[in-house]
Amino acid sequence: MTVGLDPAAALSAIDQTQPLVNCITNDVTVNDVANVTLHWGGLPVMSDDRADVVEMVAGAQALLLNMGTVDDEGVDLFAVEAGGSSLAVDAEEGVAPNSASLSTGTEGVLHGARTKLLQDGDGQIVESHSVSSGLDYAGVGPELAHLVDEGRVTPVNVDDDAALEGFHRLSQEEGIIPALESAHAIAYLHEHHEKLGDVTVINVSGRGDKDLDTAIEETTKRDIANAPDMSMFEGGLR
Amino acid sequence: MNDDADSDRIAAAFADGPAFVPYLAVGDPDYESSLAYVEALAEGGADVIELGLPFSEPIAEGPTIQDAVARALASGMTPTRFFEFVEEVDVDVPLVCMTYYNLIYQYGDEQGPRPFVEKAASVGVSGFVVPDLPAEEAGPLREACDEFGLHLIAIVAPTTDEERLERLVEVSSGYLYVQARLGVTGASSSVSDRTGESLARLSDVALPKAVGFGISSGEQAATIVEAGADGIIVGSALVDVVAEGHERDEPTEETAARLETKARELKRGALDGYGRRTPAPEGTSD
């Protein structure tokens, strides 16, 4: 997209709302950028109208992921779940040390949604776990569960340690601190990139600055191969 | 007693003045004590008793009942044990099962509510309150209730709008559970002054209106009934009595006696409130 009338104002809006913006370009290269995105199978959205840009920036606040759609069978979809510390469920104790309800759960109804749940035979919900608090839930969105049932989305998972490795990898190699939720996908990509095809898009769904306390605490407890020297964080962040 | 006569027991409970509807979590703190406690409520004047079948995620409950649910689950309460309890408990009032939908959905060989409702009917349950079942998804449970002659009781909140209220009333029978205030269950020292307002907007609904959430004393019960409620539902204030007894290691019969006293206070309050209505009501809800 091209910023025309008041670049300063548009950039300031982007700065304030922090959208996930794929490309900001100019009149000279705009078509090249769009063609490359198309070539990857993406669906570029372009505008050089200031009002449009403002609207797109606002809309992108949540998520702007334009690599194909659910209906586009040419795109394989994976949901990388939290494998936690183990995929085993201890029904006796009512504990599942993971949040992999797509991979290991069964159909049930929780919080008003019919989806896949970590539960015992009576339907009591078991305690879930993940190093990522945002994934630490015994259920999953019903849309995802449906797409898995249809065979459209393949559920996979990585464990807590791998997620922390993914967290450090993207932070160190790209200067992007991913949320611990998204770090699971980074880890999966690292382990399986050879069989995933030429272009893989990861939805970095959230920012990792919210997870720094957890990342420091959990990394310090473990032996994570690519972790930086954690002693600099002794005494916490503040 | 056939199914139809059994369903009518709830209507009968609301027919002669205000109904006192106490709640306890079954199995809190253990199966045997729980039998004595529920029987004490009946002795204390209960007209309907709501029996909580403990679920791991009790989203409508405040801390008091959450703790009760945790104690009951720890003591080994399950849907199967719950049905044994209903068969064994020696009371002569209609029993309503208050629980959450996943336990109803998972019970038995086939998924869906039918096996649970069939079993509940066979042990003598008269109806259900299911706080986490949206009206839009209540169809299968409503059908099973109709098949086996049980009631499905909806909860109406102060924020329930007119359109939603219509949907709820469509799938409801027995009585309406009117939330006196927003939030979760729990005893409080003052009752909401919005109760009158809530009841006024339900005046066109033919079902009896039982008000709950926050009632903990006879005086509060009187205020609520005076404001027009057909019944009062009391949970946390009674669960508090059970919790105290449990913490003090009190003998079961002493806790049961204190429960019966508390029940009498609440029932008395409801009757006093009914007497205070002006002008004196010409009849009851029907």
Q: What is the ipTM of this complex?
A: 0.88
Contact A124/B56, CB-based, under 8 Å? yes
Q: What is the CATH number of the domain that holds A181?
A: 3.40.50.1100
What average pLDDT score do residues A12-19 get?
Answer: 54
pLDDT in tens, A81-92: 999 999 987 877
Contact present, B160 and B177 (Cβ < 8 Å): no
Q: Which active-site residues of B does the annotation give?
A: 50, 61
Contact B56/A109, CB-based, under 8 Å? no
Please report whether residue A65 resides in a domain: no
Percent of chain A with pLDDT over 90: 50
Nearest CA in chain A to B130: A112
A93 and A172 together in one domain: yes
Cα–Cα distance for residue pair A13/A57, rounded to 1 Å: 7
Q: What is the nearest CA distance from B138 to chain A, expressed in angstroms? A: 11
Helix intervals (H) in chain A = 7-17, 30-39, 50-59, 101-104, 142-149, 160-174, 180-192, 212-221
pLDDT for A98: 93
Domain count, chain A: 2
Helix, strand, coil tally for chain A in percent (to 5): 40, 15, 45
Residue A39 or residue B261, greater confidence: B261
* pLDDT classification of A2: cutoffs 50, 70, 90: very low
A116 and A45 together in one domain: no
pLDDT for B187: 73
Please report whether residue B119 resides in a domain: yes
Please report whether residue B180 resides in a domain: yes
Global pTM reads 0.83
The answer, for B103 touching chain A at a CB cutoff of 8 Å, is yes
The answer, for B130 touching chain A at a CB cutoff of 8 Å, is no
A100 and A180 together in one domain: yes
Contact A109/B55, CB-based, under 8 Å? no
The answer, for B116 touching chain A at a CB cutoff of 8 Å, is no
User: Could you tell me which residues are beta bridge partners of residue A81?
Assistant: A157
Cα–Cα distance for residue pair B41/B239, rounded to 1 Å: 12
Extract the residue ranges of chain B whose pLDDT is less than 70. Answer: 1-7, 189-193, 279-286
Q: Of B277, B285, B160, nearest to B227 (Cα)?
A: B277
* pLDDT classification of A235: cutoffs 50, 70, 90: confident
Q: What is the nearest CA distance from A232 to chain B, expressed in angstroms? A: 40
Nearest CA in chain B to A127: B56
Please report whether residue A41 resides in a domain: yes
pLDDT for B77: 98
Test the B interface: residue of A92, A111, A114, A124 with most B CBs within 10 Å: A124
pLDDT for B27: 98
pLDDT for A197: 84
Tell me the residue range of the domain where B252 lies: 3-185+193-276
A49 and A102 together in one domain: no
A84 and A153 together in one domain: yes
Please report whether residue A26 resides in a domain: yes
Q: Of B81, B141, B86, nearest to B115 (Cα)?
A: B141
* pLDDT classification of A200: cutoffs 50, 70, 90: confident
Q: What is the nearest CA distance from A154 to chain B, expressed in angstroms? A: 25
**Cα atoms in the 13 Å half-sphere on the side-chain side of B86:** 26
Contact B103/A119, CB-based, under 8 Å? no
pLDDT in tens, B220-267: 999 999 999 999 999 999 999 999 999 999 999 999 999 999 999 999
Please report whether residue A37 resides in a domain: yes
Cα–Cα distance for residue pair B82/B59, rounded to 1 Å: 20
The answer, for B138 touching chain A at a CB cutoff of 8 Å, is no
Q: Of B87, B96, B82, nearest to B53 (Cα)?
A: B82
pLDDT for A67: 44
The answer, for B107 touching chain A at a CB cutoff of 8 Å, is yes
Please report whether residue A102 resides in a domain: yes
Q: What is the nearest CA distance from B192 to chain A, expressed in angstroms? A: 27
pLDDT for A7: 58
Q: What is the CATH number of the domain that holds B8?
A: 3.20.20.70
A97 and A12 together in one domain: no
Cα–Cα distance for residue pair B170/A126, rounded to 1 Å: 34
pLDDT in tens, B266-282: 999 999 999 998 765 55
Tell me which residues of chain A have a C-beta less than 8 Å from any C-beta of chain B: 94, 107-112, 114, 117, 119, 121-126
Please report whether residue B286 resides in a domain: no
What does the block give as tokens for B210?
A: 């039982």
Q: What is the nearest CA distance from B266 to chain A, expressed in angstroms? A: 33
Test the B interface: residue of A92, A101, A110 with most B CBs within 10 Å: A110
The answer, for B102 touching chain A at a CB cutoff of 8 Å, is yes
Please report whether residue B203 resides in a domain: yes
Contact B103/A109, CB-based, under 8 Å? no
The answer, for B70 touching chain A at a CB cutoff of 8 Å, is no
Q: Which residues of chain B have a CB within 8 Å of the CB of A108?
A: 102, 105-106
Please report whether residue A151 resides in a domain: yes
Cα–Cα distance for residue pair B256/B260, rounded to 1 Å: 6
Tell me the residue range of the domain where A111 lies: 77-233
Please report whether residue B269 resides in a domain: yes
pLDDT for B48: 98
Please report whether residue A70 resides in a domain: no
Contact B133/A112, CB-based, under 8 Å? yes
Please report whether residue A84 resides in a domain: yes
Contact B101/A109, CB-based, under 8 Å? yes
